[in-house]
Amino acid sequence: MAETRRTGLNDLHRELGARMVPFAGWDMPVQFPMGVMAEHLHTRQKAGLFDVGHMGQVLIHPQDGDIASAALALETVIAADVASLPEGRQRYGLFTNDEGGILDDLMFANRGDHFLLVVNAACVDQDIAILQGVAGVTVTPVTDRGLLALQGPQAAEVLARIIPEAADMRFMDSLTLDWQGHALWFSRSGYTGEDGYEISVPGAQVEAFARALLDHPEVAPIGLGARDSLRLEAGMPLYGHDMDAGVTPGAAGLGWAVSKARRTGGAREGGFPGAGVILTELAQGAASMRRGLRPEGRAPLREGVVIFPDAAGGDPIGTVSSGGFGPSVGGPIAMARIPAEIPEGATVHAELRGKRVPATVVALPFITPSYKR
């Protein structure tokens, strides 16, 4: 059995009173003494600091020194437009399989002479193996840096006091900025629906930098519990729940990630695993798609709850892939893959403890994102 790994902030989490749990092979904080509800609302109102050091960071260098050739090479495994990404910018992408299913979702940034990829913790080994099969690039897993996320409407204000240049970044900018002589890799992005940053910090400095952020009264430490409820309200899918190797981009509601250049008739149509299946489905429309649900009452709909079209009888039409209570929304919310033809505003029924609870089909996200454009 593999040993549980620890991020560079493990001691700090324990000092701050975190409740630690195993997650994707790592020892991670699920909540702090403030509690999940308060942590969630604090992030929406001020600024929350998340340890995301369990995520995989990977550098991709072109063997011929040409970043354009590395971009085209990455397009053989990533169902996204890598080639048009300007230096200093970041984009969302998908690894797919030959059947059109999603193997992982990732962020990739153009850093001038190489790309930086951030992938999900549970998929790191698989993703590195995929990348090592790409011709013409050198793959270097980053093992000596931590990763933090500072999220919330006051995140930029806090960072401006420490690193003024960070406040000038736009959504999806990717820059290297100095802090006390150390190179920090910034992206203006996150997983909460709020303005914020993800920051890769040298391992020897990650605790000191986290403490420097926590010294500001607007910043509180936030655990995995609130991270999940925040991303759910923001309508963001989670790998292994809302998408997996058996779910296509269209069904996951992620068809937008397969940009025009890679679609049928595009400048670089297809060329990634499962392109035939994926592009046909995107052109015709997926039969079932990830949709938002607002159930009646206060009982949350958890993952695996079965959805029916009617209050009694009938065959199932889908299952909940993510669900819980939305603190900012003030009630239960869920996402489920159900027939795409069902219109917003329609009522479906979730089977909960032997009873069918009405739920309204609603647009995603459940809250209005506040990204810095």
**Hey, how many other C-beta atoms are within 10 angstroms of the C-beta on 209?**
22
Q: Let me know if residue 323 belongs to a domain.
A: yes
Q: What is the pLDDT of residue 169?
A: 97
Q: What is the pLDDT of residue 3?
A: 85
90 DSSP β-pair partners = 109
pTM of the model: 0.96
Q: Are residues 217 and 301 in the same domain?
A: no
Q: Which parts of the chain sit beneath pLDDT 70?
A: 1, 373
Q: Are residues 118 and 189 in the same domain?
A: yes
For residue range 188-197, list pLDDT tens digits in order: 999 999 999 9
| CATH code for position 338 | 2.40.30.110
For residue range 204-243, list pLDDT tens digits in order: 999 999 999 999 999 999 999 999 999 999 999 999 999 9
**Hey, how many other C-beta atoms are within 10 angstroms of the C-beta on 201?**
24
Q: Let me know if residue 280 belongs to a domain.
A: no
Q: Are residues 15 and 150 in the same domain?
A: yes
- Dist. CA 273–CA 42, nearest whole Å: 41
The two structure tokens encoding residue 261: 């250049």
Q: What is the pLDDT of residue 1?
A: 59
Domain-terminating residue out of 169, 202, 236? 236
Given a contact cutoff of 8 angstroms between Cβ atoms, the answer to whether 222 and 42 are in contact is yes
User: Please, which residues have CB within 8 angstroms of residue 113's CB and are 6 or more apart in sequence?
Assistant: 61, 62, 65, 67
Q: Are residues 220 and 294 in the same domain?
A: no
What range does the domain containing 122 cover?
A: 1-236
Domain-terminating residue out of 209, 236, 263? 236
Given a contact cutoff of 8 angstroms between Cβ atoms, the answer to whether 12 and 204 are in contact is no
Q: Give the count of domains, the chain.
A: 2
Q: What is the pLDDT of residue 221?
A: 98
| CATH code for position 130 | 3.30.1360.120
